[in-house]
Structure 1
Amino acid sequence: MIRETLAVGLLGCNCTVLGDETSREAIVVDPGYDIPRILAVLAKHQLTVKQIVVTHAHIDHIASAFELKQITGAPIVYNQADLPLVAIMEEQAAWIEVAVPEVKPPDHSPADEEKITVRGIEATVLHTPGHTEGSLCLYIPTESLLLAGDTLFARSIGRTDLPGGNTAKILESIRERLLPLPDATLVVPGHGPTTTIVRERTSNPFLMG
């Protein structure tokens, strides 16, 4: 599988392109900003976007999803529980002093453990509320890969002081949905460096005790 992660936008959101080497079909996860860079990665690997997945509806993760849909025709997938965040996109833009992007409701709101597929790649949706009510992660077991959005970070967890955040929920989500994954699972968080499940289970200070 082709996997490229690039930090996009002012807040360095990790946008990940997943592509199948045979079908050349792709999933783009969290196209927050920097569409030209995302398109360059797709062109380099001769990939066609078939799914656009947004882990949660904070501006830095969703801002360019609709633009990417207009260019590629691919549907946008995210949890409709985050629509209240879409409704305050103007307020979100003011938080980081950027222009208000055009953001639309999802073309599809996936159920927990639903499969999101393109030819050659199958990812499982894990609903992990806490950072936002609709936060989700994508787990690709054949690649030992977890795209964790802003739920789990290297030695940290997602903040819960923004609208829709809940500390008890995010801790429950991590402990019940993510930490039981295999030790060697590579975690690509929504920002910052990669980590592994075993590393976070054994050394993440927010998860001790």
Structure 2
Amino acid sequence: MSDLRIKTCVLGAVSTNCYILYNCASKEAVIVDPGDNAPYIMNKCRELDVKPVAVALTHGHFDHILAVPELSRSFHVPVYASAVEDAMLADTSLNLSGTCDSEPTSFHADELLRDGQEFTLLGLNWKLIATPGHTAGSACYYIADEGVLLAGDTLFADSYGRTDLPTGSASQLVESILDKLFALPEDTMVYPGHGDPTTIGHEKQFNPVTFYRRHTL
């Protein structure tokens, strides 16, 4: 049985999924998209008896990043993100922090990743898949050995991310999902930025994005 566990915390004004991935043997953890309420996340880590070793971001919108500065300071851990998205993390007019009664938030990631880059966390191989569309630097994290995809706001259960916010592109989003994510094994578990988990196989069959290219050719 795998040592990987995934704890979901639904946080913030728009109910964002923050994921705490942890190795139940080593007790190391990675916090993905800590969108709000750093004290709650820190307390959840204490309850799970895990020690964060990194924060990983799928993209730079405020509802996925508000807790990052406090968590990175408190745990003394690096922040991972796509290199393309770093400008958004630092620019409140792009990341939209300060809206929805949120605090203006600006920072740079410590580990700037390129498309296809592989790295090791929790004793597992992670791969960053660039999926522009929701934002220019949106990315997913794929853990192949566990069949896990952390999809951010690129792909949802029976839906997909909006593209009307800064740096968004509908055509890029469609290409990212159809050409990159739907190329993954169908039994891959998808953990989205909002809503319930799903699988690649389910989305290939039922996600409305599958009809987009057919009707725009």
Matched, 1:144 2:147: yes
Three-state SS of the structure 1 residue aligned to 2:36 is: coil
Q: CA deviation at 1:176?
A: 1.3
Residue number in structure 2 paired with 1:37 = 40
CA distance in 1, matches of 2:37, 2:68: 11
Residue number in structure 2 paired with 1:121 = 124
Q: Which runs of 5+ in 1 are unaligned?
A: none
CA distance in 1, matches of 2:87, 2:191: 26
Matched, 1:73 2:76: yes
Q: CA deviation at 1:89?
A: 1.3
- Mean alpha-carbon deviation: is it higher for 43-52 or for 195-204? 43-52
Alignment of 1:8-47 (within 5 A): 8-47=11-50
CA distance in 2, matches of 1:187, 1:146: 5
Three-state SS of the structure 2 residue aligned to 1:60 is: helix
Q: CA deviation at 1:86?
A: 3.2
Q: Of the candidates 87, 97, 103, which is equivalent to residue 101 of structure 2?
A: 97
CA distance in 1, matches of 2:122, 2:178: 31
**Aligned residue type for 1:96:** C
TM-score (norm 1): 0.93
- Mean alpha-carbon deviation: is it higher for 188-197 or for 31-40? 31-40
Q: Deviations over 1:21-77 (max 9, x none)?
A: 221111110011121221122112221111111110100001111110000011011
Sequence identity percentage: 36
Q: Deviations over 1:66-123 (max 9, x none)?
A: 110000011011123223423441571343232223x211111111122232242222
RMSD: 1.5
Three-state SS of the structure 2 residue aligned to 1:95 is: coil
- Mean alpha-carbon deviation: is it higher for 163-172 or for 19-28? 19-28
Three-state SS of the structure 1 residue aligned to 2:133 is: coil
Three-state SS of the structure 1 residue aligned to 2:183 is: coil
Matched, 1:196 2:199: yes
Q: CA deviation at 1:185?
A: 0.9
Q: CA deviation at 1:5?
A: 1.1
CA distance in 1, matches of 2:185, 2:9: 25
- Residues 90 and 108 in structure 2, CA contact (< 8 A), matched pair in contact too: no
Matched, 1:134 2:137: yes
- Residues 7 and 13 in structure 1, CA contact (< 8 A), matched pair in contact too: yes
Q: CA deviation at 1:155?
A: 1.0
**Aligned residue type for 2:123:** G
Segments of 4+ moved more than 4 angstroms: none
